[in-house]
Amino acid sequence: MKEIIIHQEKAQNPAGLVELCPFGAIEYQEQQLSISAACKMCGLCVKNGPPGVFEAVEERVEKIDKDQWQGIAIYIQHSHGEIHPVSFELIGKARELAAKIDHPVYALFIGSEIREKVNELGCYGVDKIFVYDQPELAQFRVEPYAAVFEDFINAVKPSTVLVGGTTVGRSLAPRVAARFRTGLTADCTFLDLQPNTDLDQIRPAFGGNIMAHIRTTNSRPQFATVRYKIFSAPQEAAEVTSEMVFRTVAPEKLVSRVKVIGTHVKEAVEHLEDADVIIVAGRGVKKEGDMEMIQALADRLGAQIAGTRPLIEAGWVDPRRQIGLSGRTVSPKLIVTCGVSGAVQFTAGMGGAEHIVAINTDPNAAIFKTAHIGLVGDMYEIIPQLLERLENEPAKALICKPVLAVEEA
Amino acid sequence: MEILVCIKQVPGTTEVNIDEETGSLIRDGIDSKMNPYDLYALESALRLKQKTDARISVLTMGPPQAKAIIAESYMMGVDTGYILTDRALAGADCLATAYALSQSIQKIGMPDLIICGKQTTDGDTAQVGPKVAELLSIPHVTNVTRIKNIDAKGIVVEADLPGEVQVVELPYPALVTVEKDIFQPRLPSYRLKLQTTDRKVTTFRLKDLADQDPAHYGLSGSPTQVVRIFPPETEHESEIITGDTVVLTEKLHDMLSKWKFV
């Protein structure tokens, strides 16, 4: 879209300009300034440098006709007909966005023997549901699913496509977006629409320490993935309001080189998402043996243990128990963070918690901006003292169902 | 058999701040490292090398300094390394990155198997792997948690889906992205370090690729555009309690009682 050119003759102190670039992309060798492949095209050298030395040259690009693309489409995630709740959350968001620009909301429902689920889906205010119900689509395989997605986009020409950020969504969406050579923004935590139908997408980047506002300005459809529990699902209406459109794709287009040999249920794990109380261990935990103290607190509160990325990477906490954008999103009744600094990559995964308690020795820790109760102190003192104090009290009949029992049922 | 692993150099730390006045990124030094998730992809390839007679190559895209991670992968047992570096690639989003990688892979010659890490720690998108597979028109499977079998024709893997595990057979050529806990990555070996000090790294520039149109690369080839970056905001009423441990413990106990958790 643009290129940065250097006007060497205007540089008074060329050697000093190397410092302008936070990525180290400006080099000064043999009396010449140059820009290396480390350049991120951030434009800071143009903005902060001496006038006229660095110039951003815009390239002329043919503009697409955005009016050709109408509507917001949701990819309906399901497992053998059981619809994943993220799909309803995205329908809610799509309706809100579509109302702003008077666009329709579409749903794309791909699978085999899913017709009886269509009515369930029809009660959420989607204008049209496109159903592809074919035996070849019984198992998720990326090639046939992408072929159906392609058929849908060519037939409907939606302006925006929202996909839930599950493992299936994060495999399928990039495949389809790349096929249309269009933009896809991962794990958006905020979505809005411009009057010109450009989708405003905000997502944490750079390890979550910065937020990036991203737009797909000149290609359609514009794709975004959103994690489970970021948005809220709409109320289910009493009757079906959606129009159903049944389509098929020629079976020869649904062939796949991938063969599904079998499926099996995951080994029974307590799902962190179902926990009412969660104790989170962070980098403040000094050694693996100290997890016993965290466990003791969890046991006393009927809680599950979770961890932040450093503890997952250290192998002290099961990777399935990571909270944050690269892990799980949870909204329990109570969350107690122990020695967690509170990077947004983590807090984005727990913002929905009803009560958030943070224990951290650093009064400036970011976690205190998210916590409802922030205790500036040492968990190595507070947790043992609390446990000692609770020893003399009878355990409260838990207001939450014990998660293990739920799993066994 | 040929296995290619895609790797990336990422900042050594994710502690990045923004100067609110200038809007510029503040980074402490230029400390960088191999994307931790790529270590699992490398380890998977090296384990397969032990079972078959596979040759392992790595491919990275980035500034010339990114050669450091190729040297590191040589110390782990990788045979050949390629780096794609060109100013025209600056500002590439996931699609432009995947396109540049797919062009490089065609230049190298299509391997039997391409292995990518689950995601990077800087972009965190997990999108480049599937996009490379699409642009090369080969099948892919993401979130691979286990490699069950490998032979001259294909590979059998287990993939993590919502609610179930899928056992999938993939014929070559194919691309997989592997999960973090698939294997424990080995450490670089000192013996291999000595042996590979002089091993060559092949450098590709835009002019080496079949498609040399700069409009398809870097910022020009990126459909997504960053409007702005800003520090995360929190607007929250929070009660911060300081004092000695007795005070803090008492407060915690009171709140837990009030909320009926004890």
User: Domains plus CATH for chain B?
Assistant: 2-216 (3.40.50.620)
- Condensed to tens digits (0 to 9), the pLDDT of residues A129-160 reads 999 999 999 999 999 999 999 999 999 999 99
Count the Cβ atoms, other than its own, within 10 Å of residue A327: 22
> DSSP E strands: which ranges in A173-236?
184-185, 190-193, 199-205, 210-216, 222-226
Residue of A nearest to B161 (CA): A167
* B262 with A393: Cβ contact below 8 A: yes
Average pLDDT over every residue of B185-211: 96
pLDDT bracket for residue B24 (50, 70, 90): low
Residue of A nearest to B98 (CA): A178
Asked if the domains at A66-254 and A272-408 fall in one CATH topology, the answer is yes
Above pLDDT 70, what percent of chain A?
94
What's the sign of the alpha-carbon dihedral B223, B85, A207, A274? Answer: positive
Exposure string over A380-405, b if 16+ CB within 10 A, otherwise e: bbbbebbeeebeeeeeeeeebeebee
CA B107 to centroid of chain Cα atoms: 21
More confident residue, B212 or A61: B212
CB contact A361 to B (< 8 Å): no
Residue of B nearest to A362 (CA): B242
What is d(CA B38, CA B50) in angstroms, rounded to the nearest whole number? Answer: 19
What is d(CA B34, CA B75) in angstroms, rounded to the nearest whole number? Answer: 13
Average pLDDT over every residue of B55-84: 96
* A39 with B91: Cβ contact below 8 A: yes
Query: A66-254: what fold?
Result: Rossmann fold (3.40.50)
Average pLDDT over every residue of A18-42: 85
Beta bridge partners of B117: B178
* Best mutation target, B132, B219, B260, to test chain A (most A CBs within 10 A): B219
Q: For residue A395, what pLDDT is reported?
A: 59
Which helix (H) or strand (E) segment holds residue B36: the answer is helix B36-51
Q: For residue A166, what pLDDT is reported?
A: 92
Which among B24, B119, B248 has the least Cβ separation from residue A377?
A: B248
Four-way CATH pick for A2-58: 2.40.420.20, 2.70.150.10, 3.30.465.10, 3.30.70.20? 3.30.70.20
* A35 with B119: Cβ contact below 8 A: no
Q: Which residues from chain B sit within 8 angstroms of residue A140, using beta carbons?
A: 161, 166
More confident residue, B232 or A390: A390
Angle between helices B128-135 and A169-179 (to 10 degrees): 40
* A37 with B259: Cβ contact below 8 A: no
Q: For residue B17, what pLDDT is reported?
A: 64
**Domain map of chain A by residue range?**
2-58, 66-254, 272-408
Average pLDDT over every residue of B207-225: 94
Residue of B nearest to A34 (CA): B87
Least confident span in A298-312, B12-26, B91-105, B237-251: B12-26
Q: Which residues from chain B sit within 8 angstroms of residue A299, using beta carbons?
A: none
Model confidence, pTM: 0.78
Q: What is the DSSP letter of A364?
A: T
* pLDDT at residue B27 is higher than 50: yes
* B168 with A259: Cβ contact below 8 A: yes
Q: Which residues from chain A sit within 8 angstroms of residue B11, using beta carbons?
A: 206-207
Q: For residue A278, what pLDDT is reported?
A: 94
Q: Which residues contact B250 (CB under 8 A, 6 or more apart)?
A: none
CB contact A60 to B (< 8 Å): no
* Best mutation target, A373, A376, A399, to test chain B (most B CBs within 10 A): A373
Say if CB A130 and CB A152 are below 8 A apart: yes
Q: For residue A391, what pLDDT is reported?
A: 86
Supply angle C-alpha A201, A206, A207, rounded to 5: 105
Backbone angles phi, psi at A317, to 5 degrees: -130, 140
* pLDDT at residue B77 is higher than 70: yes
Which among B119, B134, B244 has the least Cβ separation from residue A175?
A: B134
What is d(CA A107, CA A112) in angstroms, rounded to the nearest whole number? Answer: 16
In three-state form (DSSP H/G/I as H, E/B as E, the rest C), the secondary structure along A219-239 is: CCCEEEEECCCCCCCCCCCCC
Q: Which of A8, A47, A48, A46 is CA-nearest to residue A28?
A: A8
* pLDDT at residue A273 is higher than 90: no
CB neighbour class for A331 (10 Å; exposed up to 12, middle 13-18, buried from 19): middle
Q: How many Cα atoms sit within 13 Å of A152 on the Cβ side? A: 31
* B11 with A205: Cβ contact below 8 A: no
Q: For residue B19, what pLDDT is reported?
A: 62
* pLDDT at residue B104 is higher than 90: yes
Residue of B nearest to A302 (CA): B261
CB contact A188 to B (< 8 Å): no
Q: For residue A329, what pLDDT is reported?
A: 85
Q: Which CATH class is domain A272-408?
A: alpha beta
Q: Which residues from chain A sit within 8 angstroms of residue B135, using beta carbons?
A: 178
Say if CB B88 and CB B100 are below 8 A apart: no
pLDDT bracket for residue A2 (50, 70, 90): low
More confident residue, B79 or A30: B79
* pLDDT at residue B30 is higher than 60: no
pLDDT bracket for residue A399 (50, 70, 90): very low
- Rounded to a whole number of angstroms, the distance from the CA of A21 to the nearest CA of chain B is 9
Which among A77, A175, A263 has the least Cβ separation from residue B167?
A: A263
Q: How far is CA A294 from CA A307, B17, B256, in A?
A: 11, 31, 16
Say if CB A58 and CB A91 are below 8 A apart: no
Which among B16, B215, B234 has the least Cβ separation from residue A210?
A: B16
CB neighbour class for A223 (10 Å; exposed up to 12, middle 13-18, buried from 19): buried
- Rounded to a whole number of angstroms, the distance from the CA of B16 to the nearest CA of chain A is 6
Average pLDDT over every residue of A216-222: 96
* pLDDT at residue B16 is higher than 70: no
Residue of A nearest to B166 (CA): A263
- Three-state SS for A66? helix
Q: For residue A207, what pLDDT is reported?
A: 61
* A186 with B162: Cβ contact below 8 A: no
Pairing mode, strands A259-265 and A199-205: unpaired
CB neighbour class for B151 (10 Å; exposed up to 12, middle 13-18, buried from 19): exposed
* Best mutation target, A4, A210, A341, A367, to test chain B (most B CBs within 10 A): A210
Average pLDDT taken over every residue of chain A: 89
Q: Which of A400, A158, A177, A190 is CA-nearest to residue A301?
A: A400
More confident residue, B181 or A157: A157
Q: For residue B15, what pLDDT is reported?
A: 65
Above pLDDT 70, what percent of chain B?
91
**Which of A81-85, A145-149, A321-325, B248-252: highest mean pLDDT?**
A145-149
Q: How many Cα atoms sit within 13 Å of B208 on the Cβ side? A: 16
Exposure string over A342-353, b if 16+ CB within 10 A, otherwise e: bbbbbbbbbbeb
Which among A2, A37, A386 has the least Cβ separation from residue B89?
A: A37
What's the sign of the alpha-carbon dihedral A374, A307, A311, B94? Answer: negative
Q: Which residues between 192 and 251 in chain A have a beta carbon less than 8 angstroms from any beta carbon of chain B?
A: 200, 204-219
What is d(CA A211, CA B227) in angstroms, rounded to the nearest whole number? Answer: 11
Above pLDDT 90, what percent of chain A?
63
* pLDDT at residue A1 is higher than 70: no
* pLDDT at residue B13 is higher than 80: no
